[in-house]
Structure 1
């Protein structure tokens, strides 16, 4: 089974003070896709520079030629399907059809209350996500959409000419629960996970692998219920949130071992954060670039 390597570039640098160069370097290193977080701020970066995802991806689209671009992930926390669809169609056009939308139900972090609302419960997030994804699907595939929902509505919305990618740009659906997995099975071209968050602090790599195996089994069941072959769904592991987060980039050999183990589980893409000094994603830039250029060849 082939494996692709992607990266996640957090939007922390001014575009003309290193931001543009990072995206160009990602293309030079041969990454399949460069993603960014679609947040208003994030954890330890909250009090520092942080730029918008879609403007950043638009700039990256003009600075690169081959690199796929995407979000990991966009959520309903501060997005609406109608306005998001228009921006995505524009980005897909500007990039020449190189966009993937990573999309998830969202969490309880800073974005969850930024617009003044109370943080939604997990059930409330799932309810909104279950309505958000189908409406976004329609908005990206139909020229005109009217729909009245409980949480999201569209009234005579026009999205002409639609996406460059047909029938629309691909969705990479982040999900581990049953409702999210059903959405991934029905609407996703890819599925995304970060692993089991309960194992982040004190779990072992072996426990993490077992948890990921269980998630993929549940995904397979959801696909079967939807009448779909799970093999046709790309499976993306967003790294940095598993127990081996601090060792997987110690060397090329360490990453090859990590990647091989997860390829055997069925993952088809691994996304690694671009190093940021003095942060949760600190790593040796030289090792990171060696991983980008040498690891997949060693996997065979």
Structure 2
């Protein structure tokens, strides 16, 4: 068992330069990474600023902390322009970007269906997710990509000079279904879970990790190569009640095989509020 790396999830709800001060503070506190949600809105929250523009700005005002989306949504992004933004931010950050990717939610209050057209069925959403990740991988690896898929296509897309990180920026794949876990095993440097609203989150994560190992075996991937991030804040567990509570929970999840833990930046007046002193103590425990 190793001590998990601790990262934080930033809220894209404040404008620059105030937001910039928060990103710099995340680096000063010692977090291994700072993530940002990728939505047009989230549960009706406004203002809600763009994830990729925010990451470019954050990359310019920080120098050590890793940055990333948690997670990029295919609901309103095409892989080709997304790859262009990823490559640019990777250069701005000096190679500190990780791209979290998920299938996208089905809630219109966040971003599902905002481009019009019929709602996607679960099967179509999973198929789009698979094709989206495949094309993004191809474009970022470059140097030239032509691809004709069921949902996404690209014609003679040039990627040079490519990403700072080779062969491309690492992917963090958020998935709990069998197809998504196979994607994580095939393309991911990291796998992401929240355990949802499970009554027994640890049992849920234990089961998910076992199925992730099976997916890795099916893909011929060494499971030890894949980092496993638990995104807190969506279960009943008191992650930020105290530094001691965090340490106990982090240790329990590390025993399951979790290598990374993300906590939300305290957001007053919401379910993600927390004592800043506790939050700072948690940051100080980051490996």
CA distance in 1, matches of 2:203, 2:270: 28
Task: State the 1:48 CA deviation.
Answer: 2.2
Aligned residues: 284
Contact 1:175 1:192 in 2 (8 A): yes
User: Do residues 54 (structure 1) and 52 (structure 2) align?
Assistant: yes
Separation in 1 of the partners of 2:6 and 2:219? Answer: 28
Equivalent residues in 2 for 1:1-300 (5 A)?
A: 1-16=2-17, 18-43=18-43, 46-109=44-107, 110-195=110-195, 197-199=196-198, 203=199, 207-244=200-237, 247-293=238-284, 295-296=285-286
What SS does the corresponding residue of 2:71 show, helix, strand or coil?
Answer: strand
The CA deviation at 1:134 is 0.9
Paired with 1:3 and 1:124, the residues of 2 have a C-alpha distance of 35
Cα drift, residue 260 of structure 1: 0.5
Per-residue deviation, 1:280: 2.1
Aligned partner of residue 112 in structure 1, secondary structure: coil
Displacement of 1:296 after TM fit?
4.7
Return the structure number with greater helix share. 1
Give unpaired runs (5+ residues) of structure 1: none
Structure 2 unaligned blocks of 5 or more: none
Separation in 2 of the partners of 1:90 and 1:171?
A: 16
Using CA pairs under 8 Å that are at least 6 residues apart, name the structure with larger relative contact order, 1 or 2. 2
Look up the SS of the partner of 1:51 in the other structure. Answer: coil
Residue 145 of structure 1: CA displacement? Answer: 0.4
Does the CA-based 8 Å contact 2:13-2:48 persist in structure 1? yes
CA distance in 2, matches of 1:180, 1:83: 23
Q: Which moved more, 1:284-293 or 1:67-76?
A: 284-293
The CA distance in 1 between the partners of 2:224 and 2:210, in whole Å, is 12
Residue aligned with 2:105, SS: coil
Shift of 1:47: 4.3
Report the secondary structure of 2:112's partner residue: helix
Deviation at 1:198, TM superposition (A): 4.3
Inter-CA distance 152–290: structure 2 relative to 1 (3 Å threshold): same
